Amino acid sequence: MFWLLSPEWSPACETKAVRVLVAMSGGVDSSVAASLLVEEFGRDRVVGATLKLWGGSSDSGCCSVADVEDARRVADQLGVVHHVFNFTAEFEERVVAPYVDGHAIGRTPNPCIECNRYLKFDRLFDRARSLGFDAVATGHHARRMTTAEGRHRLIRGADPLKDQSYVLAMLGQDQLARSLFPVGRLTKAQVREEAIRLGLRTAMKPDSQDVCFIRSDEGRQGFLGDRLPLHDGRLVDDATGEDLGPVEAVELVTVGQRRGMGHGDDGRRRYVTAVDVPARRVRIGTPEAANASGVDLHTVTWVDDDLTQGAGPGECAAIAQCSAHGRPVGCTVRPDGNGRLAVTFATAQRRIAPGQTVALYDPANPDAVIGSGIAA
């Protein structure tokens, strides 16, 4: 496949003046994204928007009062209009509630991906359209490229250590056609250099690392404990069924976890292989037992066409990435006829926790996302 690595988008590509709404989280990436857009389109064509998502207290992520203030002050410095959109009800319904409900049944949802799916690239896009904007920009480290045929592709960011294509792997043609990722062509060091050059207040602000609606002083246990009953349970040997002791809260344990699972008689670390919340049992085993040859995916999305269609017996090659910074692995994907995909890894991988996303990349161009799905 031939890839046209042209600029993401420029005014010369359009016959009308382009208006861009840039999502400003209060971090350095979205601040620099806004500044680059102002340079390209002019400040009268760029408007900043910060999403108020979480109605509770926050000291991390991108939902704190300080983050909103940082975004507003950067917008003022750039000379662009800044809005705050209140999406707290949608965030609770689409992100927080499913996160809690997932843990209640032994699943481990990825709230950042669901926020992108339902809030930033759905609800925000609808708001932008209603306000007459032509495109929405974010500070994600990813790139949007266009083929010679005019199809849009999602490409890894230029900085491999900061690449965020994994958390955008659910995007399709409709979203990509109206998306801009201005910092995707830059390394993180270059982003900070640009922010310093412009004197932006966010230039040296640390990156967000945690789930935005969970405070550091409460952690998952405190947050989930306020929203659902947590039950103690038992650790069970995966091979023998032997009872190995207590576990404080089965709802907080995730498949693949090793922390808190101790060691076997041979001194090797033990890993979680399965979580059965109704039975209050967590199965643990050796590193080999914690590996799997594949995973089934639901909620499957494709960046472009469904690549399993017309691929021989319905099976095609891909590259799987099973976490935000996981090591990519070759695989084959095959539809099961019920809207799901069966993924078989070239080499066994650590079991994927149900609820986690698997991003799929093109073997012919390993930087290009072709689709994604959620582990069943």
CATH number, residue 306:
2.40.30.10
Residue whose pair of structure tokens reads 């806004």 in the numeric block: 34
Q: What is the tens place of the pLDDT at every residue in 257-310? A: 999 998 888 889 999 999 999 999 999 999 999 999 999 999 999 999 888 775
Asked which of 4-13, 237-246, 345-354 is least confident by mean pLDDT, the reply is: 4-13
- My answer on whether 52 and 161 are in the same domain is yes
pLDDT value of residue 132: 97
Q: Is the domain of 296 the same as that of 281?
A: no
CA distance 277 to 317: 35
Query: Does 205 fall in a domain?
Result: no
Answer yes or no: is 6 within a domain. Answer: no
**Measuring CA to CA, which residue among 124, 126, 129, 137 is closest to residue 41?**
137
- CATH number, domain containing residue 35: 3.40.50.620
The token pair that represents 192 in the structure block:
């900070």
Residue 240, Cβ density class (10 Å: 0-12 exposed, 13-18 middle, ≥19 buried): exposed
Strand pairing report for 329-335 and 81-86: unpaired
Same domain, 180 and 302: no
Over the chain, what is the mean pLDDT?
A: 91
DSSP symbols for 190-240: HHHHHHHHHT-TTTTPPPP-S-TTS-TTTHHHHHHHTTS----EEEEETTT
Q: Are residues 192 and 270 in the same domain?
A: no
3-state secondary structure (DSSP) of residue 329: strand
What does pTM read for this prediction? 0.92
Given a cut of 70, is residue 6 above it in pLDDT?
no
Residues 69 and 133 in one domain: yes
| Confidence (pLDDT) at 3 | 27
46 and 118, same domain (yes or no): yes
Q: What is the H or E stretch that residue 347 is in?
A: strand 341-350
State the CATH number of the domain containing residue 245.
2.30.30
Residues 322 and 256 in one domain: no
Claim to verify: residue 169 and residue 257 sit in the same structural domain: no
| Per-residue pLDDT tens over the stretch 334-367 | 998 888 999 999 999 999 999 999 999 999 999 9
Domain identity same for 28 and 80 = yes
Which residue, of 198, 218, 253, is where some domain finishes? 198
- Residue pLDDT, tens place only, 79-130: 999 999 999 999 999 999 999 999 999 999 999 999 999 999 999 999 999 9
* Owning domain of residue 50: 16-198
Task: Tell me how many domains the chain contains.
Answer: 3
Of 285, 304, 319, the position where a domain reaches its end is: 285
Length of the chain: 376
Q: Are residues 46 and 174 in the same domain?
A: yes
Which residues belong to the active site? Answer: 115, 212
Which neighbouring-strand residues pair with 276?
281
Return the sign of the alpha-carbon dihedral for residues 51, 55, 60, 64: positive
Q: What is the mean pLDDT of residues 249-259?
A: 96
pLDDT of the residue at 62: 63
Among 12-21, 181-190, 219-228, the range scoring the smallest mean pLDDT is: 12-21
